[in-house]
């Protein structure tokens, strides 16, 4: 059997993780390899954590169709996910972990060093400079190709051209910038894996389901932390705030509340970071700040 | 209890009235029309205190029943043929949501060619919808099983929609004598049962939720187990029915099957015709008997195996075609027999499609034909009988 490379992309709905996987798969096929690209199928919600996958084989049709649970390569498009999702879960020894972050390689190493090659690139900064929007998928592709060499940088050009049309040139530029700027740390000790704990979701057994799957705890959506979907958070500047409450009126989530001093603040358990409050604020008292930097 | 001459359709309407149904949501279609016309009349005349919803299609008829059943009230509808097909999308929703809707199906052939006449194509296409499904052979059974359907469907251990199948025209439009009980007797058999989960603004809950791959299969397992387990309650309900009314029903019923080396298997009103054929053959000394499959879902594996395994040859009549496959009943009984070490050979026939009669002679021929095929070792393929060549 020929070597199989399995890749897992972590992003948020709307950030282009699925596109990354598609372009990666098409590039590999372009090189004459066999490849798969697929999303984790599910309800689509902008901002919600999503997964996309690749399998790449040099010489064989790939029959495996289940989700990638023991990846060789993990790519994290959104630094905000690092605190809420175990991105290193199942990552093989000798694998590669590539993170989009404005933090230095040293800082990232202190958190994510393990028996794998660790790489960091400030893809958001590159995307903002080159594309003027914080969509980092093409930059992350460049970083990924540099660190792993699963395909050649040139092979990305045609699929990127097809996918982005008029915007292809800028996306290829973002891709190249990240290729040049990514910082890489050598593999850590095998015994060393990041010690992080994440809330495990538990599901009921079939015996525990009520007839017809009836849900009796009314209003349980209240416990759903939609704040996990947020990549930017609104911050209020009290010097500019006139306490008019427009932010509260426009918040589609109903999660902006007035505090005892009369100022408004978002309940970050629910705030999805949509930015409507910041856009509607008459006095520009609200700025959206990248979650990882807040 | 009094004996009256009544069309089977009207006997079902009478059962619905005596059951004190709260909501009827229905759309007329031949040959079911008499049932719901009569119910509409009862509601209009004040003989039945129910809401009658005259919907615009069968899809809406079943949707209306779902909503009403979710509120916890007794709910009934009836349909046939294409009507059941149009209703199809909602059928598995009713069972998955565990809503005890009761429905009479006047079994009718499916188009095309357009046929208003009877066969079992409609219910066989709805076989896997998760409903409790039973078959009546005469007007009395149509009445009795309708009453039983409410008792079964609404049992807290079941909570599943239940269908009573009566053959279109052959049963639906036949007037014969039927024993109709007094209201008091029906009330004794059919008390109002508590419903654990109903829509109530004071106690809000969610029904018919969304499930990701992490949950869906557990939901289906729970539903399948519920349908399988419903047999216990069905047996209990039929026992209670016998206690009150003196008539006994079983998932698998037989006729002169003791010591029979050849067994014929039928469902629905043709079973009584087949009994005539069995009598004639018995009189001429042949060891033949009849299996009448009363309960189609949940399939009564144990009871069926117990009865069928002793014979040498099982002759199965299907009144529906599974195009390119065996007859639906035949494939079911073959699957049920397969694990047994001692089992009969199976001869599958398809007949009585689109209202075509099968006479006693027809059944006699079928049994002779099956014997010949068995002797010649030619039982492999299903045969459509009574076809002009």
- pLDDT, residue B303, reads 97
What are A206's two structure tokens? 């079939």
CA distances from A205 to A198, A224, A256, B11, B218 (A): 22, 21, 37, 44, 7
| Mean pLDDT of successive 10-residue stretches along chain A, which has 294 residues | 87 90 96 95 79 95 94 95 92 96 93 95 95 94 96 95 94 97 89 81 94 91 88 94 96 95 96 96 95 75
Distance CA A100, CA A182 (A): 9
Q: How far is CA A136 from CA A86, A166, A232, B350, B357, in A?
A: 20, 17, 14, 64, 72
**Number of residues that make up chain A:** 294
User: What span, in angstroms and rounded, lies between the C-alpha atoms of A7 and A144?
Assistant: 10
Query: Touching check for B216 and chain A: CB below 8 Å?
Result: no
pLDDT of residue A1: 44
**Average pLDDT over all residues of chain B:** 97
* Pairwise CB contact (< 8 Å): A206 & B211: no
Q: Are residues A172 and A228 in the same domain?
A: no
Here the CATH number for the domain that contains residue A94 is: 3.40.920.10
User: Which chain A residue has its CA at the smallest distance from B205's CA?
Assistant: A216
Same domain, A78 and A149: yes
Q: Candidates 3.40.50.300, 3.40.50.920, 3.90.25.10, 3.40.50.2000; correct CATH number of B252-384?
A: 3.40.50.920
Q: Which of A136, A158, A185 is the last residue of a domain?
A: A185
Cβ contact A42–B212 (<8 Å): yes
Angle between helices A157-164 and A17-30 (to 10 degrees): 130
- Is residue A113 domain-resident? yes
DSSP state of A291: G
User: Does one domain contain both A231 and A89?
Assistant: no
C-beta atoms surrounding B54 within 10 Å: 14
pLDDT at B56 over 70: yes
Structure tokens at A242: 């006139």
Residue numbers in B near A211 (CB within 8 A): 98, 159, 196-197, 222, 226
Matching fold, domains B2-245 and B252-384: yes
One domain, residues A159 and A275: no
Would you state the pLDDT for residue B254?
A: 98
Q: Which residues contact B124 (CB under 8 A, 6 or more apart)?
A: B320, B322, B328
Final residue before a domain boundary, out of A127, A162, A185: A185
Considering the domain architecture, whether residues A231 and A179 belong to the same structural domain is answered as: no
**Least confident span in A7-11, A184-188, B347-351, B361-365:** A184-188
> Per residue in A123-154, is it b (16+ CB within 10 Å) or e — as a string?
bbbbbbebbeebbbbbbbbbbbbbbbebbebe
Q: Going by DSSP bridges, is the β-strand pair A49-57/A34-39 parallel, antiparallel, or unpaired?
A: antiparallel
Determine, yes or no, domain membership for A219: no
CATH superfamily, region B2-245: Thiamin diphosphate (ThDP)-binding fold, Pyr/PP domains (3.40.50.970)
Task: Among A204, A212, A219, select the one facing B207 at the smallest CB separation.
Answer: A212
DSSP A14: T
- Pick from A201, A209, A215: which is nearest to B222 by CB? A209
Provide mean pLDDT across the span B215-242: 98
Q: Residues A175, A236: one domain?
A: no
- pLDDT digits 0-9 by tens, B95-106: 999 999 999 999
Whether residues A214 and B222 touch (CB distance < 8 A) is answered with no
**Contact assignment for B214 to A203 by CB distance below 8 Å:** yes
ipTM rounded to 2 decimals: 0.89
Confidence (pLDDT) at A2:
61
Count of A–B CB contacts within 8 Å?
A: 60
Nearest to A206 among B159, B205, B221 (CB): B221
Query: Of A137, A166, A185, which residue constitutes the final position of a domain?
Result: A185
Structure tokens at B50: 């129910």
Q: Is A202 on the interface with B (CB under 8 A)?
A: no
- Tokens representing B242? 């016998």
Asked if residue A270 and residue A180 are part of one domain, the reply reads no
Structure-derived torsion over alpha carbons of residues B312, B316, B322, B324, reported in degrees to the nearest 10: 40
Which residues span the domain enclosing A134? 4-185
- Contact assessment for residue A239 and residue B230, using Cβ atoms and an 8 Å cutoff: no
Both tokens assigned to B17: 């009235």
Is A10 inside any structural domain? yes
Identify which of A209, A214, A219 has the shortest CB distance to residue B218: A209
- Which region, left, alpha or beta, applies to residue A143 given φ > 0 means left and ψ of -120 to 50 means alpha? alpha
Kindly state the DSSP code that residue A84 receives in the 8-state scheme.
T
Question: Hey, where are the domains in chain B?
Answer: 2-245, 252-384
DSSP label at B113? Answer: S
Cα distance between residue B13 and residue B77, in whole Å: 10
Q: What percent of chain B has pLDDT over 90?
A: 97
Q: Where are the alpha helices (DSSP H) in B190-300?
A: 216-245, 270-283
Chain A residues touching B212 at Cβ < 8 A: 42-43
Q: Rounded distance, CA A167 to CA B156, Å?
A: 61
Residue of A nearest to B94 (CA): A212
- Residue A208: other Cβ atoms inside 10 A: 9
Question: Is B118 in contact with B180 (CB distance < 8 Å)?
Answer: no
Residues A159 and A280 grouped into a single domain: no
Residue B198 is encoded by which pair of tokens?
């109903």
Q: Which of B189, B177, B108 is nearest to B142 (CA)?
A: B177
Cα nearest neighbour of A211 on chain B: B98
* CATH at residue A259: 3.30.70.20
Give the contacts of A71 (CB within 8 A, at least 6 positions apart). A6, A7, A8, A90, A91, A92, A95
């Amino acid at each position: 059997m020929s070597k199989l490379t399995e890749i897992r992309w972590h992003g948020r709905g709307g950030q282009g993780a699925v596109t990354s996987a598609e372009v990666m798969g098409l590039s590999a096929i372009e090189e004459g390899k066999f490849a798969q690209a697929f999303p984790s199928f599910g309800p689509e919600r902008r901002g919600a954590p999503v997964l996309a996958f690749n399998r790449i084989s040099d010489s064989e049709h790939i029959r495996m169709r289940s989700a990638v649970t023991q990846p060789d390569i993990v790519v994290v498009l959104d630094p905000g996910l690092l605190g809420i999702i175990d991105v290193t879960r199942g990552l093989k020894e000798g694998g590669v972990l590539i993170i989009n972050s404005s933090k230095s390689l040293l800082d990232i190493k202190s958190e994510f060093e393990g028996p794998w090659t660790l790489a960091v690139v400030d893809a958001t900064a590159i995307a903002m400079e080159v594309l003027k929007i914080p969509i980092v998928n093409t930059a992350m592709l460049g970083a990924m190709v540099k660190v792993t060499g699963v395909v050649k940088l040139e092979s990305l050009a045609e699929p990127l051209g097809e996918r982005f049309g008029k915007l292809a040139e800028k996306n290829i530029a973002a891709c190249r910038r990240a290729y040049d700027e990514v910082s890489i740390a050598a593999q850590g000790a095998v015994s060393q894996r990041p010690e992080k704990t994440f809330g495990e979701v538990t599901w009921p057994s079939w015996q525990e389901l009520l007839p017809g799957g009836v849900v009796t705890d009314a209003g349980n959506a209240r416990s759903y932390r939609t704040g996990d979907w947020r990549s930017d958070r609104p911050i209020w500047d009290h010097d500019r705030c006139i306490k008019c409450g427009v932010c509260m009126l426009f918040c589609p989530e109903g999660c902006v509340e007035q505090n005892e001093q009369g100022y408004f603040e978002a309940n970050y358990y629910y705030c999805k970071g949509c930015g409507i409050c910041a856009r509607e604020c008459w006095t520009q008292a609200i700025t959206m700040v990248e979650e990882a930097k807040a | 209890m009094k004996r009256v001459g009544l069309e089977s359709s009207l006997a079902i309407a009478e059962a619905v009235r005596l059951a004190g149904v709260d909501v009827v949501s229905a759309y007329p279609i031949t040959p079911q029309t008499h049932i719901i016309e009569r119910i509409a009349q009862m509601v209009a005349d004040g003989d039945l205190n129910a809401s009658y919803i005259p919907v615009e299609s069968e899809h809406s008829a079943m949707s209306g029943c779902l909503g009403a059943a979710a509120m916890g009230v007794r709910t009934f509808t009836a349909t046939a043929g294409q009507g059941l097909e149009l209703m199809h999308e909602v059928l598995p929703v009713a069972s998955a949501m565990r809503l005890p809707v009761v429905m009479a199906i006047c079994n009718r052939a499916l188009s095309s060619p357009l046929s208003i006449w009877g066969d079992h194509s409609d219910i066989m296409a709805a076989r896997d919808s998760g409903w409790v499904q039973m078959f009546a052979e005469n007007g009395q059974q149509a009445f009795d099983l309708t009453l039983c359907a409410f008792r079964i469907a609404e049992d807290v251990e079941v909570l599943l929609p239940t269908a009573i199948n009566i053959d279109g025209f052959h049963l639906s439009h036949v007037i014969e004598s039927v024993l109709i009980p007094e209201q008091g007797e029906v009330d004794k058999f059919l008390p109002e049962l508590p419903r654990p989960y109903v829509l109530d603004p004071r106690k809000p809950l969610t029904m018919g939720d969304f499930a990701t791959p992490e949950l869906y299969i557990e939901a289906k397992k729970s539903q399948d187990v519920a349908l399988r387990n419903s047999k216990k309650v069905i047996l209990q309900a039929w026992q209670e029915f016998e206690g009150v009314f003196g008539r006994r029903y079983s998932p698998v019923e037989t006729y002169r099957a003791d010591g029979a080396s050849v067994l014929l298997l039928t469902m629905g009103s043709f079973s009584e015709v087949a009994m005539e054929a069995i009598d004639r053959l018995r009189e001429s000394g042949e060891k033949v008997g009849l299996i009448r499959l009363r309960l189609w879902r949940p399939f009564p594996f144990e009871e069926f195996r117990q009865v069928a395994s002793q014979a040498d040859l099982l002759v199965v009549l299907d009144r529906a075609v599974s195009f390119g496959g065996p007859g639906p009943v035949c494939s079911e009984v073959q699957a049920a027999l397969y694990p047994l070490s001692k089992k009969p050979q199976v001869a599958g026939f398809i007949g009585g499609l689109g209202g075509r009669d099968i006479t006693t002679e027809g059944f006699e021929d079928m049994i002779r034909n099956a014997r010949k095929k068995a002797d010649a070792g030619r039982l492999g393929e299903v045969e459509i009988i009574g076809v002009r060549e």
